[in-house]
Amino acid sequence: MPAIITDDFRRNQAKLLVNDIKASADSNFDSPAGNSNESTWPFRGNNRYSIGLGKSDPWEDNSGGASEGDSGFVVPTPQGTIKEDHDVISNLSTLKDVPQNGVKQLIAKNPWTSGRKYKVYDEADDDMFYTTGEFYPCAVTYNNKVYLCLSNTATSADFTSVAASTTAPSAANNYGISSSGDAQGYVWAHVADIDSNDPLTTNQFVPINGSPTVSDSEKQRTGGLISHIGIVDGGSGYTSAPSVSLIAVKYDGTQAVTAFNVIARAIVEGGVVTRIDLENAGENPDTLGSESYWSTDASDYLTSTVNERIKYVTVSFSGGGGSGAKAYTTVAPVDGFAANAINILPTWFVGINVNFENSESDNDSAIVDFRQVSLLKNFDREADSGDTTLGVLDALKYVVLTSPNTSNINNLSQGDVLTCGSSKFYFDYYDSSSNKLYYHQNSNADVNFINPPASTAVTEASNAIGTTDSTGYNRPEYNAYDSPPSGSITNGEVIFHENRTPFSRGSSQTEEVKIIIQL
């Protein structure tokens, strides 16, 4: 049976992810404790979301022999396998929780550019938010605002094709319509504002506010608007333009009797209805840029209940000598485009932003290179008084060395392989103030997952590094395998990860990590 995943499904999944991350960062959610207890709420569990940095050891050589740092080297593309997820967890050096203000729904930027042709917002067009051929998406960004294209056709009778837009969109009023003076026939509706200071506003994406403050008068500017009439079937045999009747139905299911403030005019070419123009009632049909598109008198918006406002408009044809023409309308939501922007625009992108500041206040953010950025959820931590509700967790195991060979340690580089008895592991860094040597292990054949034993020599090749104390290895605040949640193989779920070229951290710098997830 034919089926499809809808755009609303994608928006909904994005919204669910954003809301779940926000809830995980709200301490009120865990009070009472049963709110996050997997036995009483199995669909949530321990939904702590954190951004992880990891993999200080170099990437393996490409199949052609190119090594990391060579001009021809290519960073491995993630494959999404279970094994790969395990390695992402094994490679972690630090984790930081996502704050409530660090996650939002986004749209991809489509900057308005003079000379481009833009699609119309058309509820029957599944490609209206994508570039196809010479036409760009119907939603554009310009001067820190988001606009929807409601028309791209001039109303002149001799119109033959869509022209490129050369007049930038603008709106005299917030969330209003701009068309005046656009000789190409473009009509734009202002639907959202862009916060240029938001860290998730980038050259490629902008966040969309899910709960904008839109006044009744601003809702009135596009609420119940007939923004487009599309052709289902152009019919045949028309010798002149047929009359177009618009039949409006209110939210209570009864027919609206208020006179339209818009007229629809059919255009016939070769006996076929090819398009339908919308024009202001009383305007010269050949006057360009005069469309107001109100389905009813604007003053009715604030003087009637929601059930009395326009919900559907059907189209019928009469006269013209032909038959078979069919059309449909796109009608704006009763509260207008701006109040519904997050549900209208292509907001199936989720942006996450976390800043790793130096080594963080509790020194849990290791100053080591990283090649992987990940998003983890649903993990436990080792008991540690240094952790906070929105905290940072160290993820590197360590051993305490007795009789450290300082000169040999100083010659070590991140990713060097160390041996301690049967255990092999990658060197990350050494803290001379506490004699702690930090390391990690993954599935690479150079190392293994055996824990370093107590009171055993640590070597690099034939070079003495030191001897482990009577404890042997020590667990970090986040432990990949020793204390996973019940039923899990690893401690947590990898929701997302990205492979990168090595990025060097510094003890006096901030890494602003941004993740974009497309649902």
The answer on 442 and 295 residing in a single domain is no
The answer as to whether 183 is a domain residue is no
Q: Given a cut of 50, is residue 292 above it in pLDDT?
A: no
Going by DSSP bridges, is the β-strand pair 135-136/117-118 parallel, antiparallel, or unpaired? Answer: parallel
The answer on 487 and 449 residing in a single domain is no
Q: What is the per-residue pLDDT across 376-408, written as a single tens digit (0 to 9) for each?
A: 988 887 765 556 656 899 999 999 999 999 999
The answer as to whether 26 is a domain residue is yes
- Final residue of a domain: which of 457, 474, 491? 474
The answer as to whether 106 is a domain residue is no
Q: Given a cut of 50, is residue 229 above it in pLDDT?
A: yes
The answer on 377 and 301 residing in a single domain is no
The answer on 378 and 494 residing in a single domain is yes
pLDDT confidence bin for 304, thresholds 50/70/90 = low
Any idea what the CATH number is for the domain that residue 383 is in?
2.60.340
Given a contact cutoff of 8 angstroms between Cβ atoms, the answer to whether 127 and 233 are in contact is no
Domain count along the chain: 3
The answer on 500 and 380 residing in a single domain is yes
The residue among 43, 53, 49, 51 whose CA lies nearest residue 22 is: 49
Give the best-scoring range by mean pLDDT among 273-282, 283-292, 294-303, 497-506: 497-506
Q: What is the per-residue pLDDT across 96-116, written as a single tens digit (0 to 9) for each?
A: 999 989 999 999 999 999 999
The answer on 357 and 401 residing in a single domain is no
Give CA–CA dist 141/121, Å, rounded: 15
pLDDT confidence bin for 336, thresholds 50/70/90 = confident
Q: Given a cut of 60, is residue 239 above it in pLDDT?
A: yes
Q: What is the per-residue pLDDT across 58-86, written as a single tens digit (0 to 9) for each?
A: 999 888 888 888 888 999 999 999 999 99
The answer on 408 and 381 residing in a single domain is no
The answer on 402 and 379 residing in a single domain is no
The answer as to whether 32 is a domain residue is yes
The answer as to whether 146 is a domain residue is no
> Hey, what are 285's tokens?
């049909």
- Final residue of a domain: which of 328, 361, 387? 328
The answer as to whether 301 is a domain residue is yes
Who contacts 267 (Cβ-Cβ below 8 Å, separation ≥6)?
Answer: 157, 159, 241, 273, 274, 275, 276, 277
Given a contact cutoff of 8 angstroms between Cβ atoms, the answer to whether 17 and 350 are in contact is yes
Half-sphere exposure of 259 (CA within 13 A, CB side): 4
The answer on 273 and 356 residing in a single domain is no
* Containing structural domain, residue 414: 397-474
The answer as to whether 67 is a domain residue is yes
Who contacts 275 (Cβ-Cβ below 8 Å, separation ≥6)?
Answer: 153, 159, 231, 266, 267
Looking at per-residue pLDDT, the higher value among 358 and 178 belongs to 358
pLDDT of residue 53: 96
- Final residue of a domain: which of 269, 297, 328? 328
Q: Given a cut of 60, is residue 176 above it in pLDDT?
A: yes
The answer on 460 and 406 residing in a single domain is yes
The answer as to whether 120 is a domain residue is no
pLDDT-wise least confident of 173-177, 403-407, 492-496: 173-177
Q: Given a cut of 90, is residue 458 above it in pLDDT?
A: yes
The answer on 465 and 414 residing in a single domain is yes
SS3 label, residue 488: coil
SS3 label, residue 455: coil
Whether this prediction's pTM lies above 0.85 is answered by yes
The answer on 391 and 490 residing in a single domain is yes
